[in-house]
Amino acid sequence: QKEVEQDPGPLSVPEGAIVSLNCTYSNSAFQYFMWYRQYSRKGPELLMYTYSSGNKEDGRFTAQVDKSSKYISLFIRDSQPSDSATYLCAMFNDYKLSFGAGTTVTVRA
Amino acid sequence: EPEVTQTPSHQVTQMGQEVILRCVPISNHLYFYWYRQILGQKVEFLVSFYNNEISEKSEIFDDQFSVERPDGSNFTLKIRSTKLEDSAMYFCASSPGSVGNTIYFGEGSWLTVV
């Protein structure tokens, strides 16, 4: 079983739609859960993080963590063409991040 | 806004040659990392570094690889005797503390081994 699983998509939505992204994981030791955005051939850009279970909202972005199910989600409301990118989930333990494969999202104008 | 800077942005090297990738972490950060991403694959952890020592390393980070903080600002990754499969984007990252919620990445150094 992979440590972090993420559906690579691709995911295509019309402008204004809600984008829903998720990851599952197997390591119960993970405490910090991050979402990064990555454009082609660029470095990952930290979007949001959540500590342990719960929800966190930042503008149009909402991150959710359910540790009992080992499941995390990212929702993007009112999606814009500029949100088109690859979204990576990542989890931290023992001085390192473990990344998902990334989901490629295209928001159509 | 402070950022992690990496040089070179792209390097082409012959198989068997040594390569040094350089990074300037964010100035008040104490933890430094190298990750790599082979084209089309996920970002993979290589090594973390704190207080002039390796904190953690992955199975990928074998004797072919080494890291160094030669002065107060630079953090380098050396790859000896490069192989074709070392072709990847290498990302440097840094964080102010050991908690993983504030790890910031550079733009990457694209290494092509021919």
Q: For A69-107, what is each residue's pLDDT tens digit?
A: 999 999 999 999 999 999 999 999 888 899 999 999 999
Question: Alpha-carbon distance B21 to B109, whole Å?
Answer: 7
Residue A21 pairs in a beta bridge with: A74
Which pLDDT score, from 0 to 100, does residue B97 have? 84
Contact: B103, A46; criterion CB under 8 Å: yes
* Three-state secondary structure call for residue A81: helix
Contact: B106, A99; criterion CB under 8 Å: no
Q: Point out the residue among B100, B104, B107 whose CB comes nearest to the CB of A92.
A: B100
Residues of chain B in contact with residue A94, where contact means CB-CB under 8 angstroms, are 56
Q: Point out the residue among B50, B89, B103 whose CB comes nearest to the CB of A97.
A: B103
* Three-state secondary structure call for residue B87: coil
Structure tokens at B41: 């694959």
Question: Alpha-carbon distance A26 to A7, whole Å?
Answer: 15
User: Can you tell me the mean pLDDT for B8-34?
Assistant: 96
Interface test with A, best of B43, B47, B94 (most A CBs within 10 A): B43
pLDDT band at A1 (very low <50, low <70, confident <90, very high): low
Average pLDDT across chain B, whole number: 94
A/B interface, count of CB pairs below 8 Å: 66
Residue A71 pairs in a beta bridge with: A24, A66
A21 DSSP 8-state letter: E
Which pLDDT score, from 0 to 100, does residue B99 have? 75
Interface test with A, best of B101, B102, B107 (most A CBs within 10 A): B101
Question: Alpha-carbon distance B86 to B110, whole Å?
Answer: 10
Query: Per residue in A39-65, pLDDT tens?
Result: 988 999 999 999 888 899 999 999 999
Nearest to A38 by CA among A49, A47, A25: A47
Contact: A92, B103; criterion CB under 8 Å: yes
